[in-house]
Amino acid sequence: MTDWDAGTYHRLSCPQLTWGRKVADRLSPAAGERILDLGCGTGRLTAELAAGFPAVRFVGADISGAMLAEARRYSSGVAYLRADGAALPFRCAFDAVFSAATFHWIVNHPALFDEIHAVLKPGGRLLAQCGGGPNLHRLLDRTHALMDSVAFRHFFHGWRDPWHFAGTDETRSRLAAAGFDDLDVSLEPAPTTLPDGDAFARFISCVCVRHHVDQLPPAERERFVSALADAAAGDDPPFTLDYWRLNMSARKPGGPS
């Protein structure tokens, strides 16, 4: 599987940036804290946070080398490193772990939450948001139907979806099993409308169905994405992605009493 087209993602990721800012508003960093942005992507939000809280040390981690290369082009005052969220190279190192639009790409959530618990100091907090529940159900139903069609099915033998859209009960149970308390987990709709068919096609080919597009030979990619954009033209409103966001906050027990 090829890496992300990070330059294109940096330009198109305004919805993810908007969602992430809402999560960051609840972060309330204190001077002297160390905060890990897990799944920092191209660092748009990480850089904003670092500029807004110069007395806080931010570290950005992502598994994508392309994303990190893009992040380093735009950010100063942030340390970036390549790391797998389910196998982090830290222990008791951070006062908070922050994440936006990432956890659904890490399919092993028990390992993910165990690692986050391990990297936090006692009393440390987790604030995160990702895709969850019925996230992109309409788009992905259409995508799977297209994958099963005569025109495309021979390109998708052995396909496995590369994401996990967890629900609230599952997430709450897994956070508790990892040792967190003060749990707050919820789902919210976040429908996102693109201006036209071309913008819709560009966005989904870079973000939502990137893995499907990579599976196809170059000559078939435009036809596949165009079919999804044509179907979205009939939605109300047209070219709207049916996003759902899974919000979570939790705390590692311990710390000053």
pLDDT digits (tens, 9 = 90+) for 114-143: 999 999 999 999 999 999 999 999 999 999
Pairing of strands 120-131, 244-251: antiparallel
CA quadruple 60, 119, 17, 193: dihedral positive or negative?
positive
CATH, domain 6-132+167-191+243-257, list 3.40.50.150, 1.20.140.10, 3.40.640.10, 3.40.190.150: 3.40.50.150
CA distance 192 to 187: 16
Under DSSP, is residue 80 helix (H, G, I), strand (E, B) or coil? strand
Contact between 119 and 89 (Cβ < 8 Å) = no
Phi, psi angle pair for 179, to nearest 5°: 105, 10
Choose among 15, 17, 223, 239: nearest CA to 138: 239
pLDDT < 70 stretches in the chain: 1, 76, 257
Q: Where are any strands of DSSP class E within the chain?
A: 34-38, 57-62, 79-82, 94-100, 120-131, 181-189, 192-193, 240-241, 244-251
Q: How far apart are CA 62 and CA 42, in angstroms?
A: 9
Q: Where are the domains of the chain?
A: 6-132+167-191+243-257, 134-162+194-241
Tell me how far CA of residue 136 lies from CA of 179, 190, 208, 230, 244, in angstroms: 30, 10, 8, 16, 7
Strands 34-38 and 94-100: parallel
For residue 74, the model assigns a pLDDT of 80
Q: Give pTM, 2 decimals.
A: 0.95
Q: What is the pLDDT of residue 109?
A: 97
Predicted local distance difference test score (pLDDT) of residue 75: 73
Nearest in space to 254 (alpha carbons), one of 95, 24, 27, 58:
95
